[in-house]
Amino acid sequence: MSVLHDPKLESLLATLHARSDEQLAALRTYDAERASETKPPADEAARLKAFRSDKLVALDRDKAEFCYQLCRAGNARRIVEIGTSYGVSTLYLAAAVRDNVRASGGDGVVIGTEYEPDKAAAARAHFEQAGLSRYIELREGDLRETLRQIDGPVDFMLMDIWISMARPALELVGPHLKAGAVVIADNTAQYPSEYANYFAYLAANGFRTMTLPFDGGLELSVRCPS
């Protein structure tokens, strides 16, 4: 049993993680082909978006369970997730909010973000299936628009997005993070140069950060205003 202690949810997640794992080989092949191209085609960005449009690219189980644990430890009530896809990590985060509410009352929400309409529809179906819809507000569209309005202090943020969007997302949500809020970002050790502008924002805005030794590196940053 995982840290979730919810057999129905774990069964749904096992199916979704398996689907995501099955797509990994195709993602690796695509990346290798791109790396071998001497001159990327003019329509590369559109091709890449189309290729990724049906891929889950779900957060690894251990990282997702770690996020659940952090959200339970910090009694997180307002969470922002950057990159929802089919809703795998969202389900872990929403389970944490649900379990925090059960443990000590009140309410809470996970704000998700997804710009592929088919992925958003599939994610909503998964939220219903898991009985977690009431804890999730999925914002559909480009996050640079959908995250302009954030009400209330944010306790926890998960950054699991195409890396070029990590800094714009942090710029929008960062000012709403409460002191002590945790931000998790995936694969920072694997893509240090791509994350350079993200790290620059952390350094300039009072975050303390460390890279945890999960596969590809998982960045744990804490907002520590002086």
Which residue lies nearer to ligand SAM by CB, 201 or 206? 201
Burial class (CB in 10 A: 0-12, 13-18, 19+), 137: exposed
Q: Residue 185 belongs to what H/E stretch?
A: strand 177-186
Of 189 and 206, the one with the shorter C-beta distance to ligand SAM is: 189
Residue 219, interface with ligand SAM (CB under 6 A)?
Answer: no
CB of 127 to ligand SAM, least distance (A): 12
Please, which of residues 35-74 interact with ligand SAM by CB under 6 A?
56-59
| Residue from the set 10, 99, 114, 219 that interacts with ligand SAM by CB under 6 A | 114
**E strand or H helix that includes residue 159:** strand 154-159
Q: Which residue has the tokens 């959908």?
A: 146
> Please, are residues 70 and 100 in contact by the beta-carbon 8 Å criterion?
no
In the bound complex, what is the minimum distance in angstroms from residue 100's beta carbon to ligand SAM?
20
| Residue 65 CB contacts under 8 Å (≥ 6 apart), including other chains | 2, 3, 4, 92
Task: Number of residues interacting with ligand SAM: please give it, by CB under 6 A.
Answer: 21
Cα–Cα distance for residue pair 154/176, rounded to 1 Å = 6
Binding mask 138-177 for ligand SAM (x = CB under 6 A): ----xx----------------xxx--x------------
Contact assessment for residue 112 and residue 123, using Cβ atoms and an 8 Å cutoff: yes
Q: Please state the closest distance from residue 105 (CB atom) to ligand SAM, in A.
A: 28
Q: Is residue 198 within the footprint of ligand SAM (CB under 6 A)?
A: no
Contact predicate 114/85, CB 8 Å: yes
List the one residue from 9, 67, 89, 100 that touches ligand SAM (CB under 6 A).
89
List contacts with ligand SAM (CB under 6 A).
56-59, 83-86, 88-89, 113-116, 119, 142-143, 160-162, 165
